[in-house]
Amino acid sequence: MKEQPDNTITVLMMGNPNVGKSALFNRLTGANAVVSNYPGTTVDYTAGKLIEGHTTYEIIDAPGTYSLEPHDAAEKVAVLLLDERRGDVVMIVLDATKIERGLYLAFEIMEREYPCIIALNMTDVAHDKQIKVNAAGIQRLLGIPVVETTAISGEGVKKLAGAIRKAQVADMDAIRKRLEGSGEDRDETVPCPGCGGCRGCG
Amino acid sequence: MLKTLSTLEFGETGRVTEIRASRHELNCMGLRTGKKLKMITRQPIKGPVVVLIDEVEIAMGLDLAAQVTVNIE
Ligand SMILES: Nc1nc2c(ncn2[C@@H]2O[C@H](COP(=O)(O)OP(=O)(O)O)[C@@H](O)[C@H]2O)c(=O)[nH]1
Ligand SMILES: [Mg+2]
């Protein structure tokens, strides 16, 4: 990942609405956040600083979106922030109780070859609902750091901050091969012909 | 028995067999072929139609729901 001359690395937080992006953002940045209006829109986004070791990160909390084909103005701003490479690193935030839905966006971002890390948030809710999430398995499969967090208690946030510098560009071919190897991506009942490591053929 | 999603009764469950609309639109919400779903709400005229998939509620217009085929089990 490239560092700007002043040693600041920008981190763009992306995720579906309501996954806890802003709660995580607040935990990461504390009380120094600045709200900006995206030019030409009525959409605001928030940026703040995180100092971790000797590195200063500028963290940007993008509006929530379900995909990179925007449906409304807020989603469009999220996609523009990504397109403009406002993040040296993209932090993909997933709701641990709704992983499959969030992975759609995650794969779209990974395909664009940004250095990424994943925050698997809402682990407390997943635990309460007895949803077991194999974070280590997802990390192995995707080849990018995956950190479990609970934004409201702050659990995992320090680890997440430390993992930013380990961000990786996902190797989509390698992911596809690992999926084909394990066959774990298949739904039990309906095979998915013709696409290889599929992320959801209609 | 095959039905379009727009005709599913409240509480009925089934598995998605075909999506004729832009897949992207529904896939990014977690609705894709092979997924099991349950009808939660179906408002007349334009919708919304709300279904439950993996304990996540997904809302769409009636038009879009009409382009999804579901196999009732
Ligand atoms: N239980 C629990 N609630 C969370 C967690 N993270 C966020 N929330 C709550 O989830 C809701 C949505 O969070 P928010 O940060 O606004 O989500 P955003 O839309 O992704 O920015 C808020 O009520 C948060 O307090 C978490 O890890 N655990
Ligand atoms: Mg927010």
Owning domain of residue A34: 8-119+149-169
Position A1 scores a pLDDT of 56
Question: What class is the B2-72 domain?
Answer: mainly beta
Position B56 scores a pLDDT of 85
Residues of B in contact with A104 (CB under 8 A): 27-28, 30
Q: Which of A97, A129, A202 sits opposite B27 (nearest CB)?
A: A202
Q: What is the pLDDT along chain A (202 residues), one digit of tens a residue?
A: 555 556 789 999 999 999 999 999 999 998 788 999 998 888 999 999 999 988 999 999 999 999 998 888 999 999 999 998 777 999 999 999 999 899 999 999 999 999 999 999 999 999 999 999 999 999 999 999 999 999 999 999 999 999 999 999 999 999 999 988 865 544 443 333 433 334 444 4
User: Which of A61, A86, A92 lies closest to A74 in space, CA to CA?
Assistant: A61
A202·B30 Cβ contact <8 A: no
B23·A187 Cβ contact <8 A: no
SS (H, E, C) chain A: CCCCCCCEEEEEEEECCCCCHHHHHHHHHCCCCEEEECCCCCCEEEEEEEEECCEEEEEEECCCCCCCCCCCHHHHHHHHHHHCCCCCEEEEEEECCCHHHHHHHHHHHHHCCCEEEEEEECHHHHHHCCCCCCHHHHHHHHCCCEEECECCCCECHHHHHHHHHHCEECCHHHHHHHHHHHCCCCCCCCCCCCCCCCCCCC
Domain ranges within chain B, ordered by starting residue? 2-72
CA of A80 to the centre of ligand 2 (A): 17
Number of domains in chain A: 1
Q: How confident is the model at residue B54 (pLDDT cuts 50, 70, 90)?
A: confident
Position A5 scores a pLDDT of 54
Report the C-alpha gap between B34 and A111 in whole angstroms: 24
- The answer to whether residue A160 sits within a structural domain is yes
Position A182 scores a pLDDT of 67
- The answer to whether residue A85 sits within a structural domain is yes
B27·A200 Cβ contact <8 A: yes
Position B29 scores a pLDDT of 87
CA of A163 to the centre of ligand 1 (A): 21
A42 touches chain B (CB under 8 A): no
Report the C-alpha gap between A21 and A196 in whole angstroms: 31
A100 touches chain B (CB under 8 A): yes
Mutate to test the pocket of ligand 1, among A12, A13, A14, A19 (most ligand atoms within 8 A of CB): A19
CA of A18 to the centre of ligand 2 (A): 7
A32 touches chain B (CB under 8 A): no
Q: What is the CATH number of the domain that holds A101?
A: 3.40.50.300
Atom 6 in ligand 1: residue holding the nearest Cα: A20
Residue A130's CB is within 10 A of a number of other CB atoms, namely 6
Position A38 scores a pLDDT of 92
Mutate to test the interface with B, among A66, A72, A75, A92 (most CBs of B within 10 A): A66
CA of B57 to the centre of ligand 2 (A): 19
